[in-house]
């Protein structure tokens, strides 16, 4: 119940006041047996299917100050049953060339993982997550540091 209310609230916020460069829509509809029926004023019934808020599609635009500027990227969002206690599964449907995104579009991001390896918490939400995906990528890795150095970014890579 918490999940459904929370998703409805977050989805409404994303529709009314989306973060810059972000669009979100539902992917599917609830199957025939789970359709909502609303009674009209004349006693008629509407069998319009309810939207599935646990399967979303998002579109983000590349940040202006990055190599991804002018790009439009489509994402798939699957919200788990334990949301907001567990993070959603997010992957790029549009091919993206970035060291933190694999060929299947899966994203290596702390916000998509539970502690202690990640930073997802119940206070996190879809708008924050989608905004963080639009943040310009970090500068290229420094080649002056040896890979075995504890300060080298690849030494503690957790994906």
Query: Rounded distance, CA 84 to CA 3, Å?
Result: 7
Total of domains in the chain: 1
DSSP 139: P
Residue 13 lies in a domain: yes
Distance of CA 32 to the CA centre of its chain: 27
Tokens, residue 144: 């002056």
Q: What per-residue confidence (pLDDT) applies to 1?
A: 72
Coil, strand or helix at 33:
helix
Tell me the pLDDT tens digit for each residue of 81-118.
Answer: 999 999 999 999 999 988 889 999 999 999 999 999 99
Residue 71 lies in a domain: yes
Q: Which of residues 35 and 42 earns the better pLDDT score?
A: 42
Domain that holds residue 113: 2-28+51-134
Q: Domain for residue 19, yes or no? A: yes
pLDDT at residue 33, as a whole number? 40
Least confident of 16-30, 87-101, 118-132, 143-157: 143-157
159 is an active site residue: no
For helices 126-134 and 2-16, what crossing angle results, to 10°?
A: 50
Q: Is the pTM of this model over 0.85?
A: no
Percentage, residues of the chain above pLDDT 70: 70
User: Mean pLDDT score of the chain, rounded to an integer?
Assistant: 81
Residue 142 lies in a domain: no
Catalytic residue among 108, 111, 127, 145: 108
Q: How far is 94 from 101, CA to CA, in rounded Å?
A: 11
Report how far residue 125's alpha carbon sits from residue 148's, in angstroms, rounded to the nearest whole number: 36
Instruction: Answer yes or no: is 10 within a domain.
Output: yes
CATH number at residue 93: 3.10.110.10
pLDDT at res. 2: 84
pLDDT at residue 46, rounded to an integer = 40
Q: How confident is the model at residue 35 (pLDDT cuts 50, 70, 90)?
A: very low
Q: Is residue 158 part of a domain?
A: no
What's the CA gap between 135 and 66, in Å, rounded? 9
- The answer as to whether 155 is a domain residue is no
Q: Which residues contact 144 (CB under 8 A, 6 or more apart)?
A: none
Inside any domain, residue 102: yes
């Amino acid at each position: 119940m918490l999940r459904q209310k929370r998703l409805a609230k977050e989805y409404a916020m994303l529709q009314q006041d989306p973060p810059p460069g972000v669009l979100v829509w539902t992917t599917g509809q609830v199957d025939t047996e789970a359709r909502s029926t609303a009674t009209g004023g004349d006693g008629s019934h509407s069998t319009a299917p309810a939207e599935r808020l646990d399967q979303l599609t998002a579109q983000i635009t590349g940040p202006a100050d990055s190599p991804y500027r002018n790009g439009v990227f489509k994402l798939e969002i699957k919200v788990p049953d334990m949301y907001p206690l567990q993070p959603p599964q997010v992957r790029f449907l549009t091919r993206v060339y970035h060291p933190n995104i694999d060929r299947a579009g899966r994203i290596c991001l702390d916000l998509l993982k539970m502690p202690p390896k990640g930073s997802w918490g119940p206070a996190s939400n879809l708008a924050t997550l989608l905004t963080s995906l639009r943040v310009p990528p970090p500068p290229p890795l420094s080649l002056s540091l040896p890979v075995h150095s504890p300060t080298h970014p690849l030494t503690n890579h957790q994906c």
